[in-house]
Structure 1
């Protein structure tokens, strides 16, 4: 057993830590597995010289972490459809080796090319920290208390607590995201946006800050949506009116019908995935980012979207 971020982590056999991943098990061994612990994904090919140098170093670094992270190796030549689909979603897979850290279902960090062992160790450390490991100075308990305040509707008290935490640790991503969400709950969207714009670069792409950004974007969208009833009637009258379907999805989300909004966006994507420069997929990712990674709406929606992308 080892200690990580104040919690006891069980050691795992190397076979569980390092896996060859294909399109068939990508969702299970990367996306879903990263809900529990960071997954380092090594995109490689047999003809790639730097890959032959980097992969053993990655395996060594992951093994040294003793269960805090796992390694998924993906041969891009044998999984071309998967690589193309991930590239369409924004991963820069034009050159290899490319190494991506997945945390809570999303890529949070990456590098390309062979790097020294010290940089690999630092990369893995950042992935662990992004997943909530290495808790700093016991502040996570205070964050949990502030989150409880926010859930109970005491947004002002939550904002004050998050702000106090950030005075102790200005780069505490969970507290930073919480402060933004507290101001969203207070209806002060300008202040929420100002806080986001001032996020330290070290945490600006963290899952907590990205989630707060997505929630702010959705809240701003809600101000301009039309009535759900009118938009529903419009879509029923003309199912191919994709703009009306997109507007309906936004209206449904604004009214708290998140699953229904996701369903409409998935149907829009099924009808025309490229409509309005891929607006349906972008809106789905915004909704997914705003929710907790293990939310059933996220898990089901991501799985269904992936099945359509790979179809």
Structure 2
């Protein structure tokens, strides 16, 4: 499985609600009234304007990436010059931001992607969410195995904050889920030295380590037979746990390791307990199976 970090696929769907053309007659409804609900950017352009052709696609992408916090309305000043004249626009491209029915900010010229993000962040300050909302949406998508969507959201955060530890770790997890373990390792290598022990990073590292072990995991049927033939074969149980985890049978894998701890908590220098902790780190502290597993492990250790 692979994924592409790009917003291009979403742009075509931005359509009616987020991005539209307006006229002199519909300007009040499309901009003035609409801006009372959510900030509206107005792109004043003309077909002959070269810089307009550079700016408009960037604007559309930036608005799409903002996830509904802002809308874009485009106005061809050749066809509808009245509003541009009222605003005193003398050169294009020109972008005005409307909020609560009035213009509050703007710029002229084909600015870059970074400046557009900053402009939108400034206009939408207090509109809810921002980076935290984006990270939350990315985590939700990842938990639902929507790897492409999660990767795009994490990448968008990194475009404005290249050292955001949650986004770096999240994108590494996307690479792990897609099977690109080398790229995941490279992504984790970009985490600043002082944040290597952040919980998001340690979780991604545990997930990566687990994925590498899973690549080497044996077939479960043979191991299941070995355990059935000799329940005291703790090495077979340990190998079976890794093989089950590789197949996505997390609870069954956990049960095998818990059984090892029950039988001999110090086996192989506590390997089963350590592997359980690695499972929990990889699954995440709030995963229901992690919570259940930690309770079970504590019950065994302190009984």
User: What range is the shorter-chain TM-score in?
Assistant: 0.5 to 0.7
Residue 297 of structure 1 is aligned with which of 289, 293, 297? 289
CA contact (8 A) 1:211 1:290 kept: yes
TM-superposed CA distance for 1:266, in Å, is 0.7
* Structure 2 unaligned blocks of 5 or more: 1-128
Residue 120 of structure 1 is matched in structure 2 by: none
Distance in 2 of aligned mates of 1:173 and 1:256: 27
Residue 209 of structure 1 is aligned with which of 190, 196, 201? 201
Q: State whether structure 2 residue 278 is matched by structure 1 residue 309.
A: no
Alignment of 1:12-91 (within 5 A): none
Residue 231 of structure 1 is matched in structure 2 by: 223
Residue 137 of structure 2 is aligned with which of 133, 136, 145? 145
Residue 266 of structure 1 is aligned with which of 253, 258, 268? 258
* Structure 1 unaligned blocks of 5 or more: 1-136
Distance in 2 of aligned mates of 1:307 and 1:224: 31
CA contact (8 A) 2:169 2:187 kept: no
Question: Are the structure 2 counterparts of residues 255 and 165 from structure 1 closer, same or farther at C-alpha, using a change threshold of 3 Å?
Answer: same
Distance in 1 of aligned mates of 2:167 and 2:301: 35
Residue 5 of structure 2 is matched in structure 1 by: none
Distance in 1 of aligned mates of 2:278 and 2:152: 27
Larger radius of gyration: 2
TM-superposed CA distance for 1:154, in Å, is 4.5
Q: State whether structure 2 residue 153 is matched by structure 1 residue 176.
A: no
Residue 186 of structure 1 is matched in structure 2 by: 178
TM-superposed CA distance for 1:179, in Å, is 0.7
Question: Are the structure 2 counterparts of residues 199 and 185 from structure 1 closer, same or farther at C-alpha, using a change threshold of 3 Å?
Answer: same
Residue 38 of structure 2 is matched in structure 1 by: none
TM-superposed CA distance for 1:296, in Å, is 2.4
Q: Deviations over 1:117-171 (max 9, x none)?
A: xxxxxxxxxxxxxxxxxxxx82111212333443455434432431231232234
Give the alignment's TM-score, normalised by structure 2: 0.54
TM-superposed CA distance for 1:173, in Å, is 2.5
Give the alignment's TM-score, normalised by structure 1: 0.53
Q: Deviations over 1:192-216 (max 9, x none)?
A: 0111123112321111111111111
Distance in 2 of aligned mates of 1:194 and 1:200: 13
CA contact (8 A) 1:156 1:186 kept: no
